[in-house]
Structure 1
């Protein structure tokens, strides 16, 4: 017979993978950038995605057989296309995936991709019930990687202790692919796949649409303890058509200088973009594919002119060349360049095409994660 469920008075010590936990009217909102960094940008995209808990999980050791977790999700939908599925909560027991849950309801943020307009509809929290086997277990509940989630309350029928973790800490920064776009569940994103295979404790600073060489992100990395660091750059710089070749190399050098101020000898991987056919030789900006929108699906096209490359416009081919040059020029024995084409290249695209022309599906996330974990040098 199980005991009465007792509220956990402070969930903070049980949550892992966030930079900061913000008290809200509902509970705790995990952030993957600190408040001082968030104050340095008014970009609604970055503010949205850094508060989506990719890599954030409840991690406990317990003899409990029942947990109840109250959450308030904020669902993101796109006007004119079918509703996105509810985010999944992966429940791992002693390291194995035991259950997947969803939280129907909650808030709904609707985005018009053509105008950028947002509408917000408030909703109510949902209770997730987790059943556990008898005896002491290590339990992780991974929050949805692409669905903002406020942790409202936690109850259990036995005491909960923070799950000890002595694995090396891996801090990774990247774009929506690193964030987990088009992965089907939170432990299926490529950084989580790689971390689990390599025996690393992941802190994921992948921000959808927002790997823009923002200085406050470099300073956040500089100031955050880490045993391994990787930075995956390029696709968002092309997506937004925000930079020219003249400034890309010096900007990346400056970013690496900032990181090295806090991590002078930490193993560091600079990762170039994976293959993306629409932007290999065509600059941005990226635009919605109107034909796909008319069919009720989301896809993207390149909106730039290939002739602009001669004047310094960025493509993925150009970015890879510049990043390789940066690593070659730096006197840094702990810095390694990883060619994104070794993680997902043209031959892979023939077999596993990007469904929306930008983001990999779940099978491809696993492939990228397996290949990243197998790279030498860590």
Structure 2
């Protein structure tokens, strides 16, 4: 540890974007679902991704030129595939990305993609260090890795830090799938919701869950009880690739999800976003699966295993889901003027696949995340945007 640095105890007052903070033996673990919600689902996937701090950041005011952050990361290793890079921490100063870093070491969650079996190997914390920062009063945000579970262990600086209580930005609450969590984006401020939030100068609470945008009632209740000035729901791709439900169940499930949110947010502007363009599932239903041939070559890709003939029996595709969501929102808008529909193909459409194809056939890359975030911010928050007149 560097001498003459001030140690600041970790506190909830410095953490934004989390739903709950758990105190562990190591430090503070941000969660994006409450404990009671986690207890209602035994699925290891949702329990893993909700603890990955997508959109979560430390925020404080300081004149410090040196910042050291001790964390205990949990890194994923997929058996038979190339090693994943260490999670990235983005240092944002006064709203602008300044630099990045990573923390080595930590725990390792070793996963067999063929069977889903997982084993956790213990490890110790590491240190992230930023030095040479401008010696002036500034608002510092350290965005935690969007895809790496991160326990906050220690914070040291060469000048005092204090909570930021006067930022006064509108809160944007978003829910979606792994694309919203940030799959295939390289950095936490590079995921499309973060790109949009920084562009629009709003405070993001990101409930994007890899494999977990499944219209779960506990997610709807979490959103109902979370303060927000704007709400967005990106629904569809997980429903299809999990082959979770049929057409008969889908419509009532969407209505129920929206009804629950409206119990706590009766008039909050709300946009329902349909899936982005994804060729493998446009007209082919799920389930989705790993492309085993690609795995054999040491790369990750996905395929659709459903039968197109089954759509007539109620199996869902992205095309069917878009039609249903647009109709549901139109029906509700007759009595709810604050709900709107946004076609996800406005963020990433068929023409975009020619220039920016999905590298694994399912998730966008970093450049596509940037484009999607900019398009969403412009559609919703810019001059003439749907939500622009409601920005405080």
TM bucket, shorter chain? over 0.9
The separation in 1 between residues aligned to 2:76 and 2:212, in whole angstroms, is: 17
Segments of 5+ residues of structure 1 without an aligned counterpart are none
2:168 maps to which of 166, 190, 211: 166
Q: CA deviation at 1:98?
A: 1.3
- The reply to whether residue 377 of structure 1 matches residue 386 of structure 2 is yes
Q: Which residue of 2 aligns with 1:98?
A: 98
Q: Is the 8 A contact 2:95 2:198 kept in 1?
A: no
The 5-angstrom pairing of residues 63-212 of structure 1 reads 63-131=63-131, 132-164=133-165, 165-212=167-214
The separation in 2 between residues aligned to 1:346 and 1:269, in whole angstroms, is: 22
- The reply to whether residue 301 of structure 1 matches residue 303 of structure 2 is yes
Q: CA deviation at 1:3?
A: 8.2
Q: Is the 8 A contact 1:60 1:160 kept in 2?
A: yes
Give deviations 1:199-253, integer Å, cap 9, x for gaps. 2110000000000000010000000100000000000000110100111111101
The separation in 1 between residues aligned to 2:320 and 2:350, in whole angstroms, is: 16
Q: Which residue of 2 aligns with 1:340?
A: 344
Residues paired across the two proteins, number: 377
Q: CA deviation at 1:291?
A: 1.4
Superposition TM-score, scaled by structure 2 size: 0.95
Q: Which residue of 2 aligns with 1:226?
A: 228
Q: Is the 8 A contact 1:231 1:270 kept in 2?
A: yes
Q: Secondary structure at the match of 2:172?
A: strand
Structure 1 runs (4+) greater than 4 angstroms displaced? none
Q: Which residue of 2 aligns with 1:48?
A: 48
Q: Which residue of 1 aligns with 2:353?
A: 349
Q: CA deviation at 1:8?
A: 0.8
Q: Which residue of 2 aligns with 1:315?
A: 317
Give deviations 1:136-176, integer Å, cap 9, x for gaps. 11111110000000001111122111123211000000000
Q: Which residue of 2 aligns with 1:28?
A: 28
Q: Secondary structure at the match of 2:351?
A: helix
1:358 maps to which of 337, 362, 368: 362
Q: Is the 8 A contact 2:288 2:302 kept in 1?
A: yes
Q: CA deviation at 1:11?
A: 2.7
The 5-angstrom pairing of residues 277-292 of structure 1 reads 277-292=279-294
Q: Over aligned residue pairs, what C-alpha RMSD do you find?
A: 1.1
The separation in 1 between residues aligned to 2:11 and 2:127, in whole angstroms, is: 15
Q: Is the 8 A contact 1:300 1:356 kept in 2?
A: yes
Q: Is the 8 A contact 1:3 1:158 kept in 2?
A: no
Q: Secondary structure at the match of 1:346?
A: coil
Q: Is the 8 A contact 1:3 1:157 kept in 2?
A: no
Q: Is the 8 A contact 1:67 1:155 kept in 2?
A: yes
Q: Is the 8 A contact 2:89 2:143 kept in 1?
A: yes
The separation in 1 between residues aligned to 2:200 and 2:168, in whole angstroms, is: 13
Q: Which residue of 2 aligns with 1:216?
A: 218
